[in-house]
Structure 1
Amino acid sequence: MKQDLRAVIIDDETNAREALSNLLRLVCPEVEICGEAKNADLGIEVIKEQKPNLVFLDIQMPGKSGFDLLASFEKVDFGIIFTTAYQEFAIRAFRFSAIDYLLKPIDPDELQAAVEKYKSQTAGLNPQQIQILQQQLDTPGTVRLVNRQKNDNQRIALPTAEGIHFVQMTDIIQCESLGSYTKFHLIKGPAIVVSRLLKEYEEILDNYYFFRVHQSNIINLEHIKRYVKGDGGQVWMSDNTEIEVSRRRKEEFLSLLSDFYVNSGKLK
């Protein structure tokens, strides 16, 4: 457990800094605010001078971004809780990279939970998580398959009890629901089980070549070997598993599958 929490707030909005500072005094009195900054350059100076345990960092600021600030440090040896006014796709991006965030206006309960989670962590953010987050925020997609991002060269961070696994999207064959958990079946190596609902990964993967064919399964369209017609039908995956397609999802699935083959150059 971490003790003596000293924190810095970096945000270009004065009102946002004041609001967060007041909230911390109210719900997290154990956190000492040792510095504030209104931009990345001043933030770098404050961090180097104060050496805080924890930094509340706004991502989108005039001039240099929060990512630029982090890039200026050879080693990020302080905790980070991102604050952002981003909506919709940004939430997906944070989940994609397994990074916690606080959405403005900041909710007191969420702030308290974020600080408690930081205190219980044994390791800080992995640089790969920040890379994935930045990549996701730089390339927001839409829900139509014709505009979806390709799975190539994309990674996802999967948090488990043992640590965070960084997995290539192309290596994921399917995601299977195990109640409150999701099991990732991969091309090679053991499956990875994550303590998150399949519904959450349905939303996260919605911009890529994945589709929820059934209540229990999300499949990677790139790993389909064949589709067998039926009431809903079945798909045979590259690992020779057979997965049911629900009747109510059949029409949308076949439409998306057709678009996938057209846009990926895999017409048969």
Structure 2
Amino acid sequence: MSKLSAVIIDDEISNLKGLEQKLGKLFPEIQVVNTFQKPEDAIAALKIEQPDIVFLDIEMPRINGFDLLAQLVSIHFQVIFVTAYSDYAIEAFKQNAVDYILKPIDDEDLKLAINKAITLVKGKKEVTNNDKLVSLLTSVLSNNKKIIVPTSKGLSFIPQEDVLHLEGYEGYTKIHVNNSATIMSSYNLGRFEKLLGHNFFKCHKSHIVNLERVRHFENEGYLLLENEQRVPISKTNKKAFLDLFK
């Protein structure tokens, strides 16, 4: 197999150099093509070209590792998280099969994580499996401020405040955003219901609305959104909706 490419992102230069040396010693088939101390520089580079594996520090100034991923429109690399803190959603990592290693880096832990990443790359599997990465990111992104939408090209990260309403459609979900665009996702509405913040309300079996974008309640059974769209509200959900405003 030809050499795999890797990028290391860590704000501490000693950690960058230490991991690069370990990789050169333990995995000569992996070529470190770039290292970044500033997460902003890493984001700019990864938007243009993505390696096979990214070693990503979690706790960094200004932008942490999770938020760094959230700023990428698409992800086509295997992620190995690096952290000095064992309380950083370690259980979420395990449950979602996302690789991570603790600092100071143990050689055996590093070998296990890299071998798993190599297996995924050889099998031509994208990312760490969209479902698993979506679940992880959703569980740790600050206050669930974004909806993470798997698409045919990768993952889209949509600020929840930009979403007017979500509509279930033949097992898919139409996401209506405030610029009149509609994003189609292969996830069903029930999946998104679990990912949304408290500002969203399921008014109908096929509709979830952003309460911040509701402008009027119509007695005949509709909610009028700020873009003039009328969304049905079921009889069983009317009382629950009105109770929110008591």
Tell me the TM-score normalised to structure 1 length: 0.47
Relative distance call for 1:48 and 1:63 in structure 2 (3 A) is: same
CA contact (8 A) 2:50 2:76 kept: no
Offset at 1:50? 4.9
Offset at 1:71? 1.7
Please give the residue correspondences for 1:6-85 in structure 2 after superposition, counting only pairs within 5 Å: 6-48=5-47, 50-85=49-84
**CA–CA separation in structure 2 for the residues paired with 1:136 and 1:101:** 16
**CA–CA separation in structure 1 for the residues paired with 2:96 and 2:137:** 9
Relative distance call for 1:128 and 1:40 in structure 2 (3 A) is: farther
Which residue identity does 1:19 align to in structure 2?
A: G
More displaced stretch, 130-139 vs 89-98: 130-139
Please give the residue correspondences for 1:151-162 in structure 2 after superposition, counting only pairs within 5 Å: none
Offset at 1:136? 4.1
**CA–CA separation in structure 2 for the residues paired with 1:15 and 1:45:** 23
Classify the secondary structure of the residue corresponding to 1:105: coil
Q: Does 1:125 align with 2:128?
A: yes
Relative distance call for 1:14 and 1:83 in structure 2 (3 A) is: same
Offset at 1:48? 4.0
Partner deviation per Cα, 1:185-237 (whole Å, 9 max, x = no partner): xxxxxxxxxxxxxxxxxxxxxxxxxxxxxxxxxxxxxxxxxxxxxxxxxxxxx
Classify the secondary structure of the residue corresponding to 2:101: strand
Offset at 1:59? 1.5
Offset at 1:116? 1.4
CA contact (8 A) 2:9 2:54 kept: yes
Offset at 1:49? 5.0
Relative distance call for 1:92 and 1:51 in structure 2 (3 A) is: closer
Identical aligned residues as a percent? 37
Classify the secondary structure of the residue corresponding to 1:118: helix
Which residue identity does 2:116 align to in structure 1?
A: K
Offset at 1:135? 4.5
**CA–CA separation in structure 2 for the residues paired with 1:89 and 1:73:** 21
Classify the secondary structure of the residue corresponding to 2:75: coil
CA contact (8 A) 1:97 1:130 kept: yes
Offset at 1:27? 0.6
**CA–CA separation in structure 1 for the residues paired with 2:47 and 2:35:** 12
Classify the secondary structure of the residue corresponding to 2:97: coil
Tell me the residue number matched to 1:218. none
Q: Structure 1: which 5+ residue stretches go unaligned?
A: 140-166, 169-268
**CA–CA separation in structure 2 for the residues paired with 1:105 and 1:17:** 12
Partner deviation per Cα, 1:61-95 (whole Å, 9 max, x = no partner): 11111122212222101111111112146322211
Q: Structure 2: which 5+ residue stretches go unaligned?
A: 143-189, 192-246
Tell me the TM-score normalised to structure 2 length: 0.51
**CA–CA separation in structure 1 for the residues paired with 2:46 and 2:137:** 21
Which residue identity does 1:77 align to in structure 2?
A: H
Classify the secondary structure of the residue corresponding to 2:112: helix
Classify the secondary structure of the residue corresponding to 2:89: helix
